[in-house]
């Protein structure tokens, strides 16, 4: 960059300018966003279960907030781009666990699930998939709010 706001060819652009990156850690944690765009970064492996799922506070996609997952947190990532859907009720959530979606968001409870076993029943073992995060306040979440780095 030359100070004019233009980026040199081939340089990487950080949409947050390096600020407001909130990192997940092993075990259940509280990840609190702030004003403006926040990146909630998941780059550490942990088991997928309610007792391990991080609680995300102040997630707002309207402010540019997004979730960023790496292969370290998710294991093998085969689908690019990722697939995402939202479940309206528990029955639909159970049905979607048997479909081939990577992420399923149960907005009624603010729960985000990772499904690594494709169309096989449930999400996989607790080391393969399941509940990965709980978004406090049940905010809107779309595929555009999720980034996966292989």
List % helix, strand, coil for the chain (3-state, nearest 5).
10, 25, 60
Residues, the chain, total? Answer: 150
70-80 pLDDT, tens digit each: 877 777 666 56
89-102 pLDDT, tens digit each: 999 999 998 888 98
**Of the candidates 108, 86, 82, which has an alpha carbon nearest to the alpha carbon of residue 96?**
86
Residue listed under structure tokens 């040199």 = 8
Torsion of CA 16, 22, 25, 30, to 10 degrees: -150
Low-confidence ranges of the chain (pLDDT < 50): 1-16, 18
pLDDT of residue 2: 37
């Amino acid at each position: 960059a030359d100070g004019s706001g233009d980026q040199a060819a081939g340089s990487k652009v950080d949409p947050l300018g390096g600020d407001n990156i909130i990192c997940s850690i092993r075990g259940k944690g509280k990840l609190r966003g702030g004003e403006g765009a926040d990146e909630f970064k998941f780059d550490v492996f942990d088991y997928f279960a309610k007792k391990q799922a991080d609680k995300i506070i102040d997630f707002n996609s309207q402010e540019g907030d997004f979730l960023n997952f790496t292969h370290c947190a998710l294991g093998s990532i085969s689908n690019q781009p990722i697939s995402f859907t939202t479940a309206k009720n528990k029955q639909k959530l159970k049905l979607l666990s048997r479909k081939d979606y990577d992420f399923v968001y149960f907005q009624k409870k603010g729960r985000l699930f990772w499904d690594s076993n494709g169309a096989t029943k449930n999400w996989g073992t607790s080391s393969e998939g399941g509940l990965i995060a709980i978004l406090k306040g049940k905010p809107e979440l779309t595929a555009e709010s999720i980034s996966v780095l292989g």
